[in-house]
Amino acid sequence: METRHTALVVGANGVIGSNLIAYLEEIDGWDIVGLSRRGGQNTAKTTYIAVNLLDIEDCSQQLQQLTSITHIFYAAYQERPSWNELVQPNLDMLVNVVQLIERVAIDLHHVSLMQGYKVYGAHYGPFKTPAKESDGGHMPPEFNVSQQQFLETTQKGKKWTWSALRPSVVGGTALGNPMNLVMVIAIYAVISKELGLPLRFPGKLGAYDRLLDLTDAGLLARATLWAATNSQCANQAFNMTNGDLIRWNDLWPKIAAYFEMETAPPLQMPLQTIMADKEEVWKSIQEKYQLEKHSYQALSSWGFGDFVFSRDYDFFSDGTKARRMGFHEFIDTEKMFFDLFDQLKEKKVIPAGS
């Protein structure tokens, strides 16, 4: 008799959550419940629930019937203006989900937590590279750390286990996501081309030459399930990247060539400022090329682009722990970008002729 599992994917519409659901739908033996504020369109294997994870009454009402959950995959995120303000809402959402599901799901096996390089202090400035899972911590506040500490404390004496995945910047095509670098580059390139401009790197000059790694959302989905279903991974954290390193000074001209554009020397320009008035330009591009009418706001995460392009220091981790323990997949990062741009064309998000 086939063993069935039920995954609760929290943050179901984001780059990470949507790719995890797509992967789970391909695998026999999995039923899926997706949680998000917007809900979603149910499929044969996935049921979506719209819920406000910061509202404990709404959570209780929506989650109390989820008695069959065996695995929680937590990838939700709430944006706030400062690092300190991020802690409480992001911790509260995780606490609400885990405590409510733990109460009703008697066969809970595992809780998977999505983290990032903030664990290593990467958002503050230059940090030790390659970052390792065993590296020492840094002064709080940091919500990734608070979330892991909650899981460590709550799991003691329980039959379920936890794992934490630490990707770099994640490459994917989900819309309406506050941290989508692929979309930032694609929309910036298309608008630049429409205005007859070369594709200039808009970040800090020092960032153009530094080493960094990235993480494909599909690879991350496979790694997340691997860590959640292998007993040797119990109660551990894993860096997860494509397995190679890039420099923008090498990749940026290749991206320009993909979009059939010329390049020009880097010029530091805050995307949040220079792209703020480009909505009408984008609407005209949508009309001209008969693109899907996604809102400019859903496609543009300029603040995140500014953050990534301002890193004038090396930004990468050591991914060998997961590989030593059996996860051997890798992705060529250049190919990842071009494949994702192709997907945006197929979905009529950007012009096919770009």
Last residue in a domain, options 240, 275, 295: 240
Q: Give the per-residue pLDDT at 353.
A: 81
Q: How many domains does the chain have?
A: 2
Residue 120 within a domain: yes
- Tell me, yes or no, whether 95 and 123 share the same domain: yes
Rounded CA gap, 297 and 277, in Å? Answer: 12
- Tell me, yes or no, whether 64 and 80 share the same domain: yes
Residue 175 has pLDDT above 70, yes or no: yes
Label residue 3 by pLDDT band (50, 70, 90): confident
User: Largest Cα–Cα distance of the chain, in whole Å?
Assistant: 63
* Tens digit of each residue's pLDDT (9 = 90 or more) over 66-76: 999 999 999 99
Run of H or E including 289? helix 279-289
Across the chain, mean pLDDT equals 97
The residue-averaged pLDDT of 318-338 equals 98
- CATH code assigned at 195: 3.40.50.720
Give percent of the chain with pLDDT exceeding 70. Answer: 99
- Tell me, yes or no, whether 262 and 332 share the same domain: yes
Rounded CA gap, 45 and 33, in Å? Answer: 8
Q: Give the per-residue pLDDT at 50.
A: 98
Q: Give the per-residue pLDDT at 1.
A: 53
Which amino acid is it at 236? Q
- Tell me, yes or no, whether 16 and 28 share the same domain: yes
Label residue 179 by pLDDT band (50, 70, 90): confident
Residue 354 within a domain: no
Label residue 354 by pLDDT band (50, 70, 90): low
- Tell me, yes or no, whether 236 and 88 share the same domain: yes
Q: Give the per-residue pLDDT at 97.
A: 98
- Tell me, yes or no, whether 28 and 102 share the same domain: yes
Residue 221 within a domain: yes
Residue 323 within a domain: no
Rounded CA gap, 196 and 176, in Å? Answer: 27
Listed residue (190, 168, 189) closest to 179, CA to CA = 168
The residue-averaged pLDDT of 161-183 equals 93
Rounded CA gap, 319 and 333, in Å? Answer: 15
Residue 266 within a domain: yes
Task: Give phi and psi for 66, each to the nearest 5.
Answer: -90, 60
- Tell me, yes or no, whether 205 and 192 share the same domain: yes
Give percent of the chain with pLDDT exceeding 90. Answer: 96
How many CA atoms are closer than 13 Å to the CA of 205, on its beta-carbon side? 3
Residue 53 within a domain: yes
- Tell me, yes or no, whether 227 and 305 share the same domain: no
- Cβ burial of 305 (10 Å; 0-12, 13-18, 19+) is buried
Residue 351 within a domain: no
Label residue 178 by pLDDT band (50, 70, 90): confident
Listed residue (276, 282, 277, 308) closest to 294, CA to CA = 282
Label residue 177 by pLDDT band (50, 70, 90): confident
- Tell me, yes or no, whether 199 and 128 share the same domain: no
* Tens digit of each residue's pLDDT (9 = 90 or more) over 254-276: 999 999 999 999 999 999 999 99
* Tens digit of each residue's pLDDT (9 = 90 or more) over 291-302: 999 999 999 899
Residue 195, domain extent: 171-213+245-315+328-346
The residue-averaged pLDDT of 49-77 equals 98
The answer to whether 175 touches 350, Cβ cutoff 8 Å, is no
- Tell me, yes or no, whether 302 and 226 share the same domain: no
- Tell me, yes or no, whether 88 and 202 share the same domain: no
Residue 107 within a domain: yes
Q: How many CB atoms lie within 10 A of CB 204?
A: 16
